[in-house]
């Protein structure tokens, strides 16, 4: 499937569409997806490409048929001399790591964790914020989230990655529809507590209920603030203190 009619097929688009159709079938919807024809077509394409087959094609084969073994292809790929010499992007490394997990092969989590970065508010992410379609912090962090979740025992890291995604929801939205769907598909099940629908954001400050954000209010100097969270979500609470310096001195250091 391509971006527009008449263009060459893109494996990542096919993977996204097929996964969506399979999820719809699992929920009882009828689709016209002919899995057998697609599976045989992909087998032929992978056989022709060999170790140079697109990683999305390999994953799609596994998605279509969970009994399809991709372990031999992964081993063949990793022994390919050109593949070993070529410098790989972080996203490509994560793609291979996820394929290994699907094949039941071990993945070194230390190799993943060492590339992590942190935001000012403690969110955890991978990569750089850019508009390259794949090599960006959103796509890399989504892949890292799935790898850590599949490995198990990384609840703290997963919570910090979810925080990062929520931090990136600027002006009430993420950057585009495709990224929004991927983020929600990845983190929403973990944001819901025991299947419970999330409650609207609500806090109490000194007994005053607040459910409209952003919220701003001035409090007297020295007044104690008691903050109570009424929903399962995170809030960013900036605190500003104004004061006057009587005899300011020259300051030559940075402000950080």
Q: Give the tens place of pLDDT for each residue, 58-67.
A: 999 998 988 8
Instruction: Give domain status of residue 93, yes or no.
Output: no
- How many domains in the chain? 1
Instruction: Give domain status of residue 179, yes or no.
Output: no
Please state the pTM of the whole predicted model: 0.74
Instruction: Give domain status of residue 25, yes or no.
Output: yes
For residue 197, the model assigns a pLDDT of: 67
Instruction: Give domain status of residue 63, yes or no.
Output: yes
Instruction: Give domain status of residue 127, yes or no.
Output: no
pLDDT digits (tens, 9 = 90+) for 103-161: 999 999 998 989 999 998 899 999 988 877 777 999 999 999 999 999 999 999 999 99
Nearest to 123 by CA among 144, 108, 107: 144
Which residue range is the domain that position 68 belongs to?
A: 1-86
Instruction: Give domain status of residue 172, yes or no.
Output: no
Instruction: Give domain status of residue 229, yes or no.
Output: no
Instruction: Give domain status of residue 128, yes or no.
Output: no
């Amino acid at each position: 499937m391509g971006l527009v009619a008449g263009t060459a097929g893109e494996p990542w688009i096919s993977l996204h569409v097929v996964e969506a159709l399979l999820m719809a079938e699992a929920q009882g919807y009828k689709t016209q997806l002919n899995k057998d024809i697609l599976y045989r077509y992909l087998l032929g394409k992978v056989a022709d490409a060999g170790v140079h087959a697109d990683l999305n094609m390999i994953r799609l084969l596994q998605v279509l048929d969970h009994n399809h073994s991709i372990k031999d292809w992964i081993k063949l790929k990793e022994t390919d001399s050109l593949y070993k010499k070529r410098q790989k992007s972080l996203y490509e490394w994560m793609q291979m790591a996820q394929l290994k997990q699907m094949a039941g092969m071990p993945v070194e989590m230390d190799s993943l964790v060492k590339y992590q970065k942190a935001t000012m508010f403690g969110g955890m992410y991978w990569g750089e914020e850019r508009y390259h379609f794949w090599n960006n912090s959103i796509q890399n962090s989504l892949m890292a989230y799935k790898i850590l979740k599949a490995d198990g025992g990384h609840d703290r890291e997963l919570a910090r990655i979810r925080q990062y995604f929520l931090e990136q929801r600027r002006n009430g939205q993420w950057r585009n529809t495709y990224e929004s769907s991927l983020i929600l598909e990845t983190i929403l099940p973990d944001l819901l507590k025991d299947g419970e629908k999330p409650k609207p954001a609500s806090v109490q400050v000194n007994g005053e209920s607040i459910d409209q954000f952003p919220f701003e209010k001035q409090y007297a100097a020295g007044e104690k603030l008691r903050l109570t969270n009424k929903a399962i979500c995170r809030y960013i609470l900036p605190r500003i203190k104004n004061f006057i310096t009587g005899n300011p001195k020259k300051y030559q250091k940075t402000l950080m």
